[in-house]
C-alpha cells in the first residue's frame, strides 16, 4: 500500500467517526474585483424570499435598510437579470420585494456549492484534526494538579 493510499484510507475512516470535528467553510465566490457573492448576500436573498420585504429581511438580520438596499443593488448588478424585483409602496400600503426565478437559482447554486465544499473539507481534514487550544490544555493540567493535591491531602 502506498503512502498516499494509506492517508486516503485514514481520511475516509476518520470522516465516519462520530468524534471528528467538522471544519466549517465560509464560501465567497469572486466574479471580478469588488464583485462577489457570499453568505451575507445569500442570507439577505433568503430573508426577502421568506418575508416578501427588504425592510423585514434587513431587520431580521439586524442590518440597516440602507445597507440591505446597497447589498441588493450590488446583487442585481452582479448578474444579467435582477435577482429581486421591488414594488413601490404608496399611500396606505407598502411595497414589497420578490426574489426572481434567477434569484432562487442563485440561492440554490450557492447553497449546493457551500454544502459540497463543507463535505470536501470534512473529508480532507478528518484525519488531520487540529490540536485542542492552549487554554483547554492548561485547564486540563490545572484539574490534574488539583486532583493530585486532593489525593495528596487525603493520603496524609
Mean pLDDT along residues 109-123: 93
Q: How far apart are CA 76 and CA 40, in angstroms?
A: 15
Q: Exposed (0-12), middle (13-18) or buried (19+): which is 130, by Cβ within 10 Å?
A: exposed
Q: How far apart are CA 140 and CA 42, in angstroms?
A: 41
C-beta atoms surrounding 38 within 10 Å: 14
What is the 3 state secondary structure string of 133-155? CHHHHHHHHHHHHHHHHHHHHHH
- The CATH topology of domain 30-113 is Arc Repressor Mutant, subunit A (1.10.10)
Mean pLDDT along residues 60-87: 93
pLDDT digits (tens, 9 = 90+) for 99-115: 999 999 999 999 999 99
Helix, strand or coil, per DSSP, at residue 13 = helix
Q: Are 54 and 72 in contact, with CB atoms under 8 Å apart? A: yes
Q: What is the pLDDT of residue 87?
A: 86
Instruction: Break the chain into its structural domains and give their ranges.
Output: 1-20+126-156, 30-113
Q: What is the pLDDT of residue 95?
A: 76
By C-alpha distance, which of 58, 41, 40, 57 is closest to 49? 57
Give 91-126 as a DSSP string. TTB--EEEE-HHHHHHHHHHHHHHHHHHHHHHHHHT
Alpha helix ranges (H) inside 52-100: 54-60, 65-78
User: Is pTM, for the whole model, over 0.75?
Assistant: no
Amino acid at each position: 500500500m502506498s503512502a498516499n493510499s494509506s492517508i486516503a484510507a485514514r481520511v475516509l475512516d476518520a470522516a465516519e467517526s462520530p468524534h471528528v470535528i467538522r471544519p466549517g467553510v465560509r464560501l465567497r465566490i469572486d466574479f471580478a474585483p469588488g464583485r462577489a457573492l457570499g453568505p451575507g448576500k445569500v442570507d439577505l436573498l433568503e430573508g426577502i424570499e421568506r418575508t416578501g420585504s427588504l425592510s423585514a429581511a434587513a431587520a431580521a438580520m439586524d442590518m440597516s435598510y440602507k445597507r440591505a438596499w446597497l447589498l441588493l443593488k450590488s446583487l442585481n448588478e452582479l448578474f444579467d437579470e435582477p435577482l429581486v424585483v421591488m414594488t413601490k409602496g404608496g399611500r396606505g400600503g407598502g411595497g414589497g420585494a420578490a426574489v426572481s426565478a434567477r434569484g432562487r437559482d442563485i440561492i440554490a447554486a450557492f447553497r449546493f456549492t457551500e454544502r459540497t465544499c463543507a463535505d470536501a473539507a470534512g473529508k480532507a481534514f478528518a484525519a488531520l484534526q487540529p490540536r485542542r487550544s492552549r487554554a483547554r490544555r492548561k485547564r486540563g493540567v490545572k484539574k490534574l494538579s488539583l486532583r493530585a493535591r486532593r489525593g495528596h491531602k487525603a493520603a496524609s
